[in-house]
Amino acid sequence: MSDDLTREDVLALLDRLERGEVRAAEPDGDGWRVNPEVKAGILRAFRLGVDVDLSAPPFAYRDRDTLPPRGVLPEGVRVVPGGTSLRRGAHVAKGVVVMPPAYVNVGAFVDEGAMIDSHALVGSCAQVGKRVHLSAAAQVGGVLEPVGARPVIVEDEVFVGGGSGLYEGVLVRRRAVLAAGVILTGSSVLYDLVNEREIRGNGAEPLTVPEGAVVVPGSRPAPGSWARVRGLSISAAVIVKYRDDRTDARTALEDSLRR
């Protein structure tokens, strides 16, 4: 049980998270398995931590001593100067590039060759795959409680456009493309124009974006005569096509940036 973990236990867990030996969620066949004991251990790290001064003048900071910003970067990771912070317990793999300012929270997993652009967030326990591009101001939300809840998962080779937001356990399957400004939550409805269907999550599984889907922000009429008279509409995420060679060319990552 997490309440039995000592400071030494949680520090060892954070070390293993940083090395990628354990994860808050991990691939399991064609799906994903949540590891609630990992999130419970992270919560224990907060409870066992003591508030300490972490100031770096002229900036003032105070946080738990168990979860400071990482002071030593993994080999092969580039973090460009300008205000980025990688928190203790976050795994950042070889070839990752982080532009300033960005934030990677505890328990997050960022796989090889990913690009995290300026003002982007990788929230607590979020899972980001290989060669993912998180564009400027993209928000990948985090989750610690409840411990069994699925974190946001972005699989390999996904492109997330600027100002997009992924929250509440959304799963974005490999090679999907989200245009700038797409906002998805676990309960969002995704309208697939190609296959003429509505994609929804359910109580057990939050929303899943299909592999290779190209998603853009759209709108649909708001219900009711009052809204109709006033021409009101509600934002909606829409799949306009599935990935093709033209999409690949527009979202290609530049290998020279990662060497």
Per-residue pLDDT band at 146 (split at 50, 70, 90): very high
Give pLDDT tens digits for 18-50.
999 999 999 999 999 999 999 999 999 999 999
Alpha carbons 91 and 119: distance in angstroms, whole number: 19
pLDDT exceeds 80 at position 257: no
What's the rounded mean pLDDT across residues 172-190? 97
Helices 36-48 and 7-19, axial angle in degrees (round to 10) = 130
pLDDT exceeds 60 at position 218: yes
Q: Give the dihedral sign, CA 131/155/146/41.
A: negative
Q: Which of 188, 176, 187 is nearest to 244 (CA)?
A: 176
Order of strands across the sheet that contains 139-140: 85-86, 103-104, 121-122, 139-140, 165-166, 183-184
- Domains identified in the chain and CATH numbers: 76-250 (2.160.10.10)
CA gyration radius for the chain?
A: 19
pTM here is: 0.94
Give pLDDT tens digits for 229-251.
999 999 999 999 999 988 787 77
